[in-house]
Structure 1
Amino acid sequence: MLYVNGEWKQANSGKTIEVTNPATGELIDKVAAGGREETIEAIESAKAAFKTWKRVTGQERGNYLAQVSSKMRGKLDEIAETITLEMGKPFPDAKREVLGAISYVDWYAEEAKRGYGEIVPASHPDKQLMVLREPIGVTAAITPWNFPASMITRKIAPAIAAGCTVVLKPAPSTPISAIKVFECFHEAGLPKGVANLVIGQAEEIGPELTQHPDVRKLTFTGSTHVGKKLLRDSADTVKKVSMELGGHAPLIVFEDANIDAAVEGVLLTKFKNSGQTCISTNRVYVADSIAKNFSQKLAEKVSQLRVGNGIENGVDVGPLINEQALEKVESHVEDARKHNGVVLCGGKRYTGNLPNGHFYEPTVINQAHDQMKIAQEETFGPVAPIFTFKDEAEIIERANHASYGLAAYCFTKDLARGHRMMRELEYGIVGINDPLPIVAQAPFGGIKESGIGKEGGKSGMMEYLEEKFVSIHTGE
């Protein structure tokens, strides 16, 4: 179902999208597939709603979000199970995602009250200067399949808190998760038109979101390639944009690091979600002196990870999203083999008792080097290549990717070194001895070709506000 102007509806054309389980290949459901007409309807609905929603107090907007949070908590298991069925994430991880999604709603329910302006000291005694922060207007949000609930709330919650209205296009492979989240918006009594859901293919919906003059803001999470196209398409109407794009995260392990903690860090940053996250570790750099010990420990832990259908108990690694994703992982591993990489564990498709699923064995590749594809391209799969380095100067040079700059991780017991790495790593997010740095109250976003703007924290709401400078002459 689509959700436009506070009502659930089928597509005008009657078209549907088949949603399948990547673990089994089974059909989950068919959902309405909207296109250009429905997108225009949603934009017009959001435009009409904006006229009144922008005047609603921050306190009241926060109250609505608090109701959304309550509804989502009541559907925690239901939404999590939907995520697992649609994209394969193990159920406990899916529950953690939903809790993360709720944390963004909670944060912006409070932040809605804090859209502060400024009083600027005047340079003339007869003037009063101030800066107002006002909602930008209708926002188009495009979200990915790998976090089909939390990416929605990370965009919609700050937009609503700021006073904007939204048209959301979720990934066509995970639309039911979006429907479940929007059920919570509906049940919370959000006014008609404030949040709209249009499901369908990018070729039909995207051009309206990027080129329609009434859409004043575009927020996107996805690949750098698609992000660049959306930027080009949005140029004619000079939209404000925020983009969270691809990453190629290094994880650096110095000789003084706690090896067990670093191994656990790789497990968390590489194999959760089957490596299908933009902040996944793509390159594991280990100091020469500890490389052998580290590699053995990592391979031992990775070989113990259980692969399977995420709805079953005890599964650590679920399927990849589709056959194309599986083939990309295969090609990266084969290329590493051709370049003399040594596969310590994994290294092939996993069938087990799920022959129709898109599974790849959790893999560790030793003796990786910079000539391999995996050293330059985002793998988006459960493969950890281990590189070695000699000293700090070398690793700073190698860890800083020419194009990507989303997340980086570093393990060391040396406080001074940690501070140096914090400054030298050219990434929007840096975790020092911390593989889980993402929280609702802090900004999330990359630099270079990994993104524009921030999500989360007070920065996240600022992305949906425009500054208006007012100068008042107070004399006669």
Structure 2
Amino acid sequence: MSVVRSYNHYIDGGPKKSLGQGVIARHSSAHGGHLADYAAGNQHDVDAAVAAARSAFNGEWGNSTGERRATILNRFADLLEANVEKLATIEAEEVGKPIRFARGEVMGAANLTRFAAALAWQLSGEAFTHLGPDKLGLVTREPCGVVGLITPWNFPLLTLFQKLPYALAAGCTVVLKPSEFTSGTSLEVAALATQAGVPAGVINVVTGTGDAVGSAIVAHPDVDLISFTGSTRVGKQILRAAADTVKKVALELGGKGANIVFADADIEAALDGVLLGFTFNQGQLCVAGSRLLVESSIAAAFVEQLAARAGRLRIGLPLNEDTDIASLIHQGHVESLVRHVKTAQEEGATLVAGGKRLGGEFENGFYMAPTVMTDVRPDMRLFRDEVFGPVLSVTTFDTADEAVSLANDTEYGLANGVWTKDIDKALTVSRCLRSGTVFVNTYLEGAPQMPLGGFKQSGLGRENGLEGLHEYTELKSTVIKTGSRAPVLGHTM
């Protein structure tokens, strides 16, 4: 067993002991071992972090050039890559995910940082020269100020870097609350940012629970924007709380994505994509393809092959290089998944594969085999609820219109997938799907340039892309009176 990692908050450029009492211990969801201890923060810690962030914003960082911010962000990306093994190991252990996927997330964070660095060079405005001979109009973007970032436990590093580098590129300063289950990488990258040249107070991390720390950040009168990734339930609470100070809120919330597989699809590719869509990160992702909508004529054969492939996935410890599926986040979560399966069976669904918590060699952890359930109707909870685990519901359709109707029959609208060789069908169906992202003949592929966000109750605003940078800016209109009339053509001055 490795040495237990012990952390304080990270405030004003370095570790800082908590002003509260208590420690949050993180134990492995894979084997039960003690991994790390985090400070249990409180309102006083948040006040200290916000004060440091405000001072840094009012000082050099809020007034720094795009060139300087870009240079520092690129150094930051270099350090992320240089520390890939350390960060990936912490991420894999604390989340319970396969380490080879965790490495990919570190490299993805570095790519997002480089993209944000490029955007820092080109944060532009507009000039309006047609307001009359004695007026000029300027529209400029300014950093919105101190931003509160609240990130989840499933992708603590990647979700952070869909926010942090854009906020820094815009000239904002940050107070971050990571999940109390997975705070390690957030604290480590804050130290790397300082090493890269980010000034003291620009990035501050306060660890603790949502009730003690998250709520204090949201309610703080000197925090100008909240960017939150997590459940729709908590997102609604944040919206209500933020109303008291009328601060900007950006939310990336839950999802109930559908993979629509038509009979004319490349079946091999669709099988791989659907499998990835509901098992990646043990199905613990908001853009999971947790619903399979499959054309009736191929449904039986497709599900049979899919269940067989799911059964061949390698279940193991997070740090094993050949692991495909590792552990779920905690005991309560795996118990919730088992209840969802039982409820679906009681409502008439058929269990085809999985459905139970794994014992034997996995009894000290929280493991569940990939689960496939057929005969799922739209009125069932499994069709409608965000289960957040490796559980797939299967529903059949006969026409494209029916498939679209089923896919849109949800309060969520984050991501969907379409599988067909017919490009006209792909484009038509994609236009009709009410989701912020549509994957065609692939799933879970993206790029830093592509905005991420949801329709309906899947959120507000966008991350990544130029839109991700604009989330952290305010628009200002400036009207300038020149003081004298411009000369009229044909007349001397």
Q: Is the 8 A contact 2:384 2:410 kept in 1?
A: no
Q: Secondary structure at the match of 1:131?
A: strand
Q: Is the 8 A contact 2:256 2:410 kept in 1?
A: no
Q: Deviations over 1:304-327 (max 9, x none)?
A: 011121111311111110112112
Q: How many angstroms apart in 1 are the aligned matches of 2:444 and 2:355? A: 26
Aligned counterparts, 1:228-247, within 5 A: 228-247=236-255
Q: Secondary structure at the match of 1:134?
A: strand
1:203 to 211, 235, 240: 211
Amino acid paired to 2:439: G
Q: Deviations over 1:442-471 (max 9, x none)?
A: 100001110000000110000001010111
1:394: how far off? Answer: 1.0
Amino acid paired to 1:48: S
The reply to whether residue 360 of structure 1 matches residue 360 of structure 2 is no
1:15: how far off? Answer: 2.1
Runs of 4+ in structure 1 off by over 3 angstroms are none
Change (3 A) 1:121 1:259: farther
The reply to whether residue 37 of structure 1 matches residue 44 of structure 2 is yes
Aligned counterparts, 1:174-189, within 5 A: 174-189=182-197
Match of 2:299 in 1: 291
Q: How many angstroms apart in 1 are the aligned matches of 2:73 and 2:162? A: 12
Aligned counterparts, 1:124-163, within 5 A: 124-163=132-171
Match of 2:26 in 1: 19
1:207: how far off? Answer: 2.8
Q: Is the 8 A contact 2:328 2:334 kept in 1?
A: yes
Match of 2:57 in 1: 50
Mind listing any 5+ residue stretches in structure 1 that lack a counterpart? none
Q: Is the 8 A contact 2:128 2:137 kept in 1?
A: yes
Q: How many angstroms apart in 2 are the aligned matches of 1:200 and 1:339? A: 39
Please, which moves more after superposition, 116-125 or 134-143?
Answer: 116-125
Q: How many angstroms apart in 1 are the aligned matches of 2:312 and 2:183? A: 33
Q: Is the 8 A contact 2:131 2:137 kept in 1?
A: no
Q: Is the 8 A contact 1:282 1:374 kept in 2?
A: no
Q: How many angstroms apart in 2 are the aligned matches of 1:339 and 1:252? A: 23
Q: How many angstroms apart in 1 are the aligned matches of 2:256 and 2:73? A: 34
Q: How many angstroms apart in 1 are the aligned matches of 2:361 and 2:195? A: 40
Q: Secondary structure at the match of 1:344?
A: strand
If the length of structure 2 is used for normalisation, what is the TM-score? 0.95
Match of 1:386 in 2: 394
Amino acid paired to 1:381: G
Match of 2:3 in 1: none
Q: How many angstroms apart in 2 are the aligned matches of 1:74 and 1:137? A: 30
Match of 2:337 in 1: 329
If the length of structure 1 is used for normalisation, what is the TM-score? 0.98
Q: How many angstroms apart in 2 are the aligned matches of 1:469 and 1:106? A: 30
Q: Deviations over 1:72-99 (max 9, x none)?
A: 1111011001011101100101111111
Match of 1:471 in 2: 479
Q: Is the 8 A contact 1:247 1:407 kept in 2?
A: yes
Say what the alpha-carbon RMSD is for the aligned residues. Answer: 1.1
Match of 1:165 in 2: 173
Q: How many angstroms apart in 2 are the aligned matches of 1:206 and 1:22? A: 23
Aligned counterparts, 1:57-136, within 5 A: 57-136=65-144
Q: How many angstroms apart in 1 are the aligned matches of 2:315 and 2:149? A: 33
Q: Is the 8 A contact 2:20 2:45 kept in 1?
A: no
Please, which moves more after superposition, 271-280 or 352-361?
Answer: 352-361
Change (3 A) 1:342 1:184: same
1:188: how far off? Answer: 1.1
Q: Secondary structure at the match of 1:353?
A: helix
Q: How many angstroms apart in 1 are the aligned matches of 2:179 and 2:45? A: 16
Q: Deviations over 1:317-351 (max 9, x none)?
A: 11110112112211111122223322222111112
Mind listing any 5+ residue stretches in structure 2 that lack a counterpart? 1-7, 485-493
1:14: how far off? Answer: 4.5
Q: How many angstroms apart in 2 are the aligned matches of 1:10 and 1:404? A: 40
Q: How many angstroms apart in 1 are the aligned matches of 2:414 and 2:11? A: 34
Q: How many angstroms apart in 1 are the aligned matches of 2:53 and 2:461? A: 23
Aligned counterparts, 1:422-461, within 5 A: 422-461=430-469
Q: Deviations over 1:270-310 (max 9, x none)?
A: 10100000000121000001111111110110010111211
1:401 to 400, 409, 414: 409
Match of 1:213 in 2: 221
1:167: how far off? Answer: 0.3
Q: Is the 8 A contact 2:318 2:326 kept in 1?
A: yes
1:67: how far off? Answer: 1.1
Q: Deviations over 1:406-448 (max 9, x none)?
A: 0011101111111111110000011111212322111000011
Match of 2:11 in 1: 4
Over alpha carbons, which structure has the higher Rg?
2
Q: Is the 8 A contact 1:248 1:401 kept in 2?
A: no
Q: Is the 8 A contact 1:154 1:456 kept in 2?
A: yes
Amino acid paired to 2:312: Q
Q: How many angstroms apart in 1 are the aligned matches of 2:311 and 2:206? A: 42
Match of 1:342 in 2: 350
Q: Secondary structure at the match of 1:385?
A: strand
1:13: how far off? Answer: 3.0
1:183: how far off? Answer: 2.1
Q: Secondary structure at the match of 1:360?
A: coil
What is the identity percentage for the equivalent residue pairs of Structure 1 and Structure 2? 38
2:260 to 229, 249, 252: 252
Please, which moves more after superposition, 59-68 or 340-349?
Answer: 340-349
Q: Is the 8 A contact 1:454 1:460 kept in 2?
A: yes
